[in-house]
Structure 1
């Protein structure tokens, strides 16, 4: 984790169903993002797309691919996710895409 070169950025681009973006954003701000952070997931940014009325993005950072997979699996297995967010969030998502890429040398220093 001390090697700044090992940090990865993950961006998720969601296409939410028409008319659901405000609620998707509310649930994200009030629920899913705080849950991610409580599990040690570094959320750098998230919110509605400025150029797509049904778009939403989530930008996260991880020290390694293994950590990204492990933390994501942990999130989706929590009682809180399953009881409060899985159904509502899944019903609002029309589609999404995930891209993972290596971060620059300074990212590790910047996010600590």
Structure 2
């Protein structure tokens, strides 16, 4: 089975980058960890103070969809950081890539 990496990119409301990062550090990522999700990396983008990314690792696309469904429907997420996180996001994009042998695909 090929593992996959999900990369989420967010364009945040103006001036909210630092607040979003604090919520991620103090609430969202710990909640991910408690739920057994693997967060590879997250943070503010180097190109803009209100651009953000989150990278997560899964054992496959089907597993990813099941785990995320369970996570986003949990009371811990819904009663936790969900409302504040969603309120700060203007736009989001998602890409899912294969993660073979512990690396992302490279162009030859």
Q: CA-atom RMSD, angstroms?
A: 1.1
Aligned to 2:106: none
Q: Deviations over 1:2-29 (max 9, x none)?
A: x5xx110110001010111111101100
Aligned to 1:70: 66
TM norm structure 2:
0.89
SS of the equivalent of 1:11 reads strand
Q: Is 1:16 the counterpart of 2:8 in the alignment?
A: no
Q: Is 1:45 the counterpart of 2:26 in the alignment?
A: no
After TM superposition, what 4+ stretches of structure 1 lie above 2 angstroms from structure 2?
none
Rounded to whole Å, the distance in 2 between the matches of 1:75 and 1:20 is 24
Higher helix proportion (structure 1 or 2):
1
- Offset of 1:84 from its aligned partner? 2.1
Rounded to whole Å, the distance in 1 between the matches of 2:91 and 2:102 is 32
Rounded to whole Å, the distance in 2 between the matches of 1:104 and 1:93 is 31
TM norm structure 1:
0.86
Rounded to whole Å, the distance in 2 between the matches of 1:106 and 1:54 is 29
Gaps of 5+ in 1: 108-112
Gaps of 5+ in 2: 104-108
Rounded to whole Å, the distance in 2 between the matches of 1:86 and 1:103 is 28
- Offset of 1:106 from its aligned partner? 3.1
